[in-house]
Structures are given as C-alpha cells and as structure tokens.
Amino acid sequence: MSTKPSLTLQRRLDAAPAKVFRAWTEAAQFMKWMHPNGAEVLRAEVDARVDGRFTMGYRKPDGRELEVYGQYLEVVPDAKLVFTWAWRSQPEQESLVTVLLRPDGNGTLLTLTHEQFIDEETRDLHQSGWSHGLDSLERYFA
C-alpha cells in the first residue's frame, strides 16, 4: 500500500489563537490575508461548523480564475479546523487539510497539514501556495 504525498508547515504568529481562528473562519478576514502565489481572493464564503462548507474564488496573476471548495469535518474553536479541499476543475482530487493552533507565549503556533494528494507535483504546488499564504498571514498579524 503506497502512502499519498502530504505536507506540513508551521508558523509562529503574533496573535492569540482566538484571533488566528477568526482569520481562518471569517470570510472578510480570510480575503485580506490569503494570497497564494500572488493570487487575489475574489470571493469567500465560509460556514465554519461541522458539515458546513466553504468556497473561495481566486484570480491568479496571469488572469486565470480558480475556485476551491470543501466541507468542515472538525471545528474546535480557537484550536483546530479539519476540512476537505478540492478545486472545482478537479473535484476527484479531494484532499484533507488540518489547521492546529496552539498558544505560544503571547502568540500562536500554527501547524498546517495537507494530506492525500494525488501525486508529488500536486503536493509541491500546494506547498508553494500555502507557504505564500502563511507568509501573508504572518504579515497580517505583524
């Protein structure tokens, strides 16, 4: 049995876990910080509760528009989000994202794990996107 590729990223943020949690679960805030690889968030709908759904529409720097959607499987306020992740153009390639938030002094240690990628190339593209997004989240709280 082969293991599907995954990635794990960490960031220390200068904000309490409650503030970081809201940045992930309130559409207006999400749109301010999430800019993977320079993409612009055009729209965001977030219903952050178990079985709730989200949809994000992006415009990449080259003008292409993409949409990602998913369903929340676990929501622990100020501590944990687990949700599915699929691009509208490739719904069969659904993957899983876990965001853990742990208090760290006056800030938060965020650990993002994205699992069940179809291949390493897809994982690498997401690693780049998430890295840029989390860099932007760090600046959002700086």
Q: How far apart are CA 61 and CA 78, in angstroms?
A: 32
Specify if 129 maps to a domain: yes
Residue 73 structural domain:
7-141
Tell me the pTM. 0.95
Specify if 1 maps to a domain: no
Residues 11/104, Cβ–Cβ less than 8 Å: no
Residues 24/17, Cβ–Cβ less than 8 Å: no
Share of the chain above pLDDT 70, in %: 99
Specify if 56 maps to a domain: yes
Phi first, then psi: what are they for 99, rounded to 5°?
-115, 115
CATH code, domain with 137 = 3.30.530.20
> Using alpha carbons only, what angle is made at residue 90 by residues 85 and 95, rounded to the nearest 5 degrees?
30
Specify if 58 maps to a domain: yes
Counting the structural domains of the chain, the total is 1
Specify if 125 maps to a domain: yes
User: Per-residue pLDDT tens for 26-65?
Assistant: 999 999 999 888 899 999 999 999 999 999 999 999 999 9
User: Per-residue pLDDT tens for 87-129?
Assistant: 999 999 999 999 999 999 999 999 999 999 999 999 999 999 9
Specify if 45 maps to a domain: yes
Cα 141 to chain centroid distance, Å, stands at 16
Specify if 43 maps to a domain: yes
What is the 8-class DSSP label of residue 14? S
Specify if 128 maps to a domain: yes
